[in-house]
């Protein structure tokens, strides 16, 4: 890197040759190198042509990296060498060695979420020790049929492990979960017997507990709501029983709906990534570049490359809280089919029906289930819910968050109907069928 500028004799010739290469490419950059007698440093001066100056120095960024030959004028650290517009630098060889060494240690950091040379390795190192292998014995009428393998992550020093429900539950043979036992192996080789606290088959999230007399590693929980398509993420786990496996990719979609995947039942949203995951990765963490858990890997599309899905950690955390508190998840049910509205959908609906209410945001109710709490409350197809429990709403996700686990408690809902008629309804949610 920068040490090419500070070398002597043959080093200076190499630097000059390098800058001459710039001159050829830029069509007019001239260079000269000089050394002061008795000095402890070399000095290089470069004069750039206007086209190259415009290429290298944008108003918002005066740092340059990424030439074909190993030349870097800056490091993203706070003590970085910045190249000013005169491109005139004098650098001590000793300082250059320190700078290069510091750059290798810091992994070319450029801020939270920025991808540097060591970003993925650092993220994996932060979360890796807390990633565990989970083994569950399978049997049928007392006959041992083998073991299933999966992954999980220790999220606190008490030994709470967040994993996938299908890792510890046979969906085909079980509809409810008794507090069974699983085998847990840490990255450092320690083995524990884990107790199943609870599993929720709808969200595919489960919680396991282990007890240890010695300290346990744990991973930090992040926030999936901050993710954007294109963000770098790292998938960790034990695919095909290969412990300590790390793959990386980007977030492809932050709100892939379960209906998009042909999954019925309760509405869910997933993070879609292009990280490589395989059998055994289920339950393992999806982490950001800060080493924080942002999702729980649960499935992939067969015969497709780079199409995998994870439960957002924000949703997984709420499920975990239910499981730790009650051993199961309580979900309120209204009996409404709902649709998010945006400007384009609203305009299209108004073109089809001029009586469609004037709204800027809200949630459309295209269908009401007969005999449901919503029907008893007076909901009608075509209603637009604009307020729930005293709070304005503009998405199904907001309604779900407002309802929480309010079962049997009355909720006031304001809806707007055809020709802008307002109605205030009171609905009492029931608990959703746990086996549906």
The secondary structure of residue 81, as a DSSP letter, is P
How many helices (H) and strands (E) in the chain?
Answer: 10, 23
Q: How far is CA 105 from CA 98, 99, 118, 248, 425, in A?
A: 11, 10, 9, 21, 61
SS3 367: strand
What is the rounded radius of gyration, in angstroms, for the C-alpha atoms of the chain? 29
Largest CA distance in the chain: 95
The catalytic position among 75, 166, 200, 218 is 166
Q: How far is CA 77 from CA 96, 101, 378, in A?
A: 14, 12, 62
DSSP result, 246-312: EEEEEEEEEEEEGGGGT--SS--EEEEE-----TT-TT-EEE-TTS-EEEEEEEE-TT-SS-EEEEE
Q: Which residue, among 244, 225, 226, has the nearest Cα to 235 in the 3D structure?
A: 244
Tell me the pairing of strands 421-427 and 430-431.
unpaired
Q: Which residue has the tokens 């490359």?
A: 305
- Residue 106: active-site member: no
Give the whole-angstrom CA distance, residue 361 versus residue 384. Answer: 9
Instruction: Work out the number of other CB atoms within 10 angstroms of the CB of residue 304.
Output: 8
The catalytic position among 135, 151, 282, 308 is 282
Q: Which residue, among 327, 390, 385, has the nearest Cα to 359 in the 3D structure?
A: 385
The catalytic position among 148, 203, 204, 252 is 204
Helices (H), 27-69: 50-56
Can you give the length of the chain in residues?
436
- Residue 282: active-site member: yes
The gap from C-alpha 349 to its chain's centroid, in whole angstroms, comes to: 34
Give the whole-angstrom CA distance, residue 37 versus residue 172. Answer: 82
Q: Which residue, among 15, 6, 89, has the nearest Cα to 45 in the 3D structure?
A: 89
Show Cβ contacts of residue 363 under 8 Å, excluding neighbours closer than 6 positions: 338, 339, 340, 341, 384, 385, 393, 394, 395, 396, 399
Q: Which run of H or of E encompasses 293?
A: strand 293-300
Contact 161, 151 (CB under 8 A): no
- Residue 3: active-site member: no
Give the whole-angstrom CA distance, residue 353 versus residue 19. Answer: 69
Give the whole-angstrom CA distance, residue 362 versus residue 383. Answer: 10
Q: Which run of H or of E encompasses 105?
A: helix 93-106
- Active site members: 166, 204, 282
């Amino acid at each position: 890197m920068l040490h090419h500028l500070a070398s002597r004799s043959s080093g200076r010739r190499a630097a000059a040759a390098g800058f001459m290469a710039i001159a050829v490419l830029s069509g007019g950059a001239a260079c000269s190198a000089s050394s002061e007698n008795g000095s402890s440093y070399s000095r290089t001066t470069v004069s750039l042509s206007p086209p190259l100056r415009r290429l290298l120095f944008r108003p918002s960024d005066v740092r340059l990296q990424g030439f074909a030959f190993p030349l870097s004028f800056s490091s993203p650290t706070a003590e970085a060498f910045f190249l000013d517009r005169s491109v005139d630098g004098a650098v001590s060889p000793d300082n250059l060695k320190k700078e290069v060494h510091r750059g290798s240690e810091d992994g070319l950091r450029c801020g939270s979420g920025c991808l540097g040379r060591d970003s993925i390795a650092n993220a994996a190192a932060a979360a890796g020790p807390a990633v565990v292998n989970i083994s569950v014995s399978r049997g049928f009428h007392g006959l041992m049929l083998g073991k299933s393998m999966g992954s999980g992550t220790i999220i606190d020093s008490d030994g709470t492990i967040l994993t996938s429900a299908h890792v510890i539950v046979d969906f085909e043979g079980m509809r409810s979960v008794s507090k069974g036992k699983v085998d847990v192996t840490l990255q450092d080789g320690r083995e524990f017997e884990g107790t199943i606290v609870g599993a929720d088959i709808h969200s595919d999230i489960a919680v396991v507990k282990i007890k240890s007399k010695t300290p346990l590693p744990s991973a930090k929980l992040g926030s999936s709501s901050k993710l954007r398509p294109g963000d770098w993420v790292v998938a960790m786990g034990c695919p095909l029983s290969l412990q300590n496996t790390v793959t990386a990719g980007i977030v492809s979609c932050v709100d892939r709906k379960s209906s998009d995947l042909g999954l019925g039942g309760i509405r869910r949203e997933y993070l879609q990534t292009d990280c490589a995951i395989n059998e055994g990765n289920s339950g393992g963490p999806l982490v950001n570049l800060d080493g924080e858990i942002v999702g729980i890997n649960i499935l992939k599309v067969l015969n497709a490359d780079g199409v995998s899905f994870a439960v957002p950690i924000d949703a997984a955390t709420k499920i975990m809280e239910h499981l730790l508190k009650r051993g199961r998840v309580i979900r309120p049910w209204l009996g409404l089919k709902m649709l998010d509205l945006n400007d384009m959908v609203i305009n299209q609906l108004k073109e089809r029906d001029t009586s469609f209410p004037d709204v800027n945001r809200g949630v459309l109710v295209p269908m009401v289930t007969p005999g449901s709490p919503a029907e008893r409350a007076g909901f009608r197809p075509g209603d637009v819910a604009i307020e729930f429990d005293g709070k304005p709403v503009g998405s199904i996700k907001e309604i779900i968050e407002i309802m929480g686990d309010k079962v049997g408690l009355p909720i006031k809902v304001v809806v707007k109907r055809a020709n802008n008629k307002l109605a205030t309804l009171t609905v009492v949610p029931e608990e959703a069928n746990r086996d549906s």
